[in-house]
Amino acid sequence: MKLKPLSAEIDELRKIIISSNLTSCYIMLEELLASKGERLFFDKFRARWIDIFKNVYDHVDRMKPRKDPRE
């Protein structure tokens, strides 16, 4: 995936958002694996994070939306 070039300020914001999302994803995966007695090493995660993200995105995309919105 190629990112569109942006101004320096907006590019910095994009990097912060990506970093935050990666950190959240890593923490959630680490907790899920810990419950199964497994471990995730950050170097391995960092090398494959885009594949993990795409798999999660595809899974969520296939889920059925709620019939009634939350109130």
The conformation of residue 36, written as its DSSP 8-state character, comes to T
3-31 per-position pLDDT tens digit: 788 888 888 888 888 777 777 878 888 88
Q: Tell me, yes or no, whether 68 lies in a domain.
A: no
Is residue 38, in this structure, part of any structural domain at all? yes
Name the domain count of the chain. 1
Taking the C-alpha atoms of residue 47 and residue 10, their distance in angstroms, rounded to an integer, is: 25
pLDDT of residue 6: 80
Furthest CA-CA distance within the chain: 44
Q: How confident is the model at residue 71 (pLDDT cuts 50, 70, 90)?
A: low
Pairwise CA distance, residues 10 & 15, whole Å:
9
Kindly state whether residue 55 falls inside one of the protein's structural domains.
Answer: yes
**Domain containing 18: what range?**
14-62
Domain contains 49: yes
Tens of pLDDT, residue by residue over 27-47, are 888 888 888 898 878 777 777
